[in-house]
A = this chain, B = another copy of it.
């Protein structure tokens, strides 16, 4: 186990009707002038935005809004938000939405108080912002885990890069988690979210660090729960209890507690980011395609760890004398799980051909190091894309 520092002060406010507390929560954090960020019109249509504004009004909090964040959120939207934040002396940014909205909020919070270029320094160059405006969020999709994480992933359309930034300064002050707000998410988006959550768990699981038994067990426990409940949510999106499990799983998967003392891999995320950069596909769908191919390519690096994962999460408990068999069967079960939640598992299923593979592979290694469990070259990444065709 590695030495580590863990610090996650996000206040999780979980349950029915919790969105009505947003005004008080912003007050607790000394927010007086709030920029509300959201995505498409669904938060308007559902009435959520109206409820938020009522809560802010009750708390005498000034607010201004900016909608229109898209999946694979863009840097130009961040710049628009920063402009509004500075013009209006904003002291708190509230995201109402999913990972794309919250990641945009975090980028705005860093840039708004930074004289340099946050994209260049914190995303491209990987420096750590030491301050940011405070932010909070009301989550509307269980997926990215951004609601209580120190991470933000943004796409720069002109420079054509999709990269993440990290800073403890952007950990949200609060996350409002009401499973009822997930009832209107489409089945396809629920599947994408579940795939993203599972990916966060698997990226953490595949590590070279030894003596990480507690976190191994905790990751397995969380993955088992996800695999049990995601199909139930897709079957009936208004099943409060199943949504509650899924929502909590998404937060725990990415709040850092399952990471303690270990170094995750994150190659599949890097490989997927190129797919959503080049083809603007949903991140979760891309991960369902990349992960099985990545596994096939690297599993011999530590076959016992893969066998342990498939034993303890997918219940494949035969043939300890032939770990290869467990892993081969395990990858098939993982693919079957993806299929059961409506995810593609091959590039061909979403009409992506092999013509940009070399370019994407080069972009992946140019963006950042690809893989800690197994570090991959652009040639390796090419082979993984080909396995995924």
Among residues of B, the one whose C-beta sits closest to the C-beta of A249 is B214
Partner among B10, B217, B228 whose Cβ is within 8 Å of the Cβ of A225: B217
Among residues of B, the one whose C-beta sits closest to the C-beta of A12 is B6
A68 at the binding interface (Cβ < 8 Å): no
Residues of B within 8 A of A40 (CB): none
Partner among B15, B213, B245 whose Cβ is within 8 Å of the Cβ of A229: B213
Chain A: interface residue total (CB-CB under 8 A):
39
CA gap between A225 and B14 in the complex, in Å: 28
A155 at the binding interface (Cβ < 8 Å): no
How far in angstroms is the closest Cβ of chain B from A136?
13
A238 at the binding interface (Cβ < 8 Å): no
Contacting residues of chain A (26-50) with chain B, CB-CB under 8 angstroms? none
Partner among B2, B220, B244 whose Cβ is within 8 Å of the Cβ of A1: B244
A7 at the binding interface (Cβ < 8 Å): yes
Check B224 against A217 for contact (C-beta < 8 Å): yes
Among residues of B, the one whose C-beta sits closest to the C-beta of A218 is B221
A11 at the binding interface (Cβ < 8 Å): yes
A261 at the binding interface (Cβ < 8 Å): yes
A5 at the binding interface (Cβ < 8 Å): yes
Check A248 against B229 for contact (C-beta < 8 Å): no
Check A4 against B9 for contact (C-beta < 8 Å): no
Check A261 against B241 for contact (C-beta < 8 Å): no
Check B1 against A16 for contact (C-beta < 8 Å): no
A320 at the binding interface (Cβ < 8 Å): no
In this complex, the member of A6, A9, A14 whose beta carbon has the largest number of chain B beta carbons within 10 angstroms is: A6
Check A14 against B9 for contact (C-beta < 8 Å): no
Check A245 against B214 for contact (C-beta < 8 Å): yes
If A217-B224, A241-B211, A252-B214 touch, whether A5 touches B1 (CB-CB below 8 Å) is no
Partner among B5, B8, B11, B260 whose Cβ is within 8 Å of the Cβ of A5: B11
CA gap between A244 and B212 in the complex, in Å: 9
Check A14 against B7 for contact (C-beta < 8 Å): no
Residues of B within 8 A of A3 (CB): 14-16, 18
Partner among B5, B14, B261 whose Cβ is within 8 Å of the Cβ of A13: B5
A257 at the binding interface (Cβ < 8 Å): yes
Contacting residues of chain A (108-133) with chain B, CB-CB under 8 angstroms? none
Residues of B within 8 A of A244 (CB): 1, 211, 261
A-B contact pairs, 17 of them (CB 8 A): A1-B244, A3-B16, A3-B18, A5-B11, A5-B12, A5-B14, A9-B9, A14-B261, A210-B241, A211-B244, A213-B228, A214-B249, A217-B225, A218-B218, A218-B252, A221-B221, A248-B261
Q: Which 10 A-B pairs have the closest CB atoms?
A: A3-B15, A217-B221, A9-B9, A211-B241, A221-B221, A6-B12, A7-B11, A214-B225, A1-B244, A218-B221
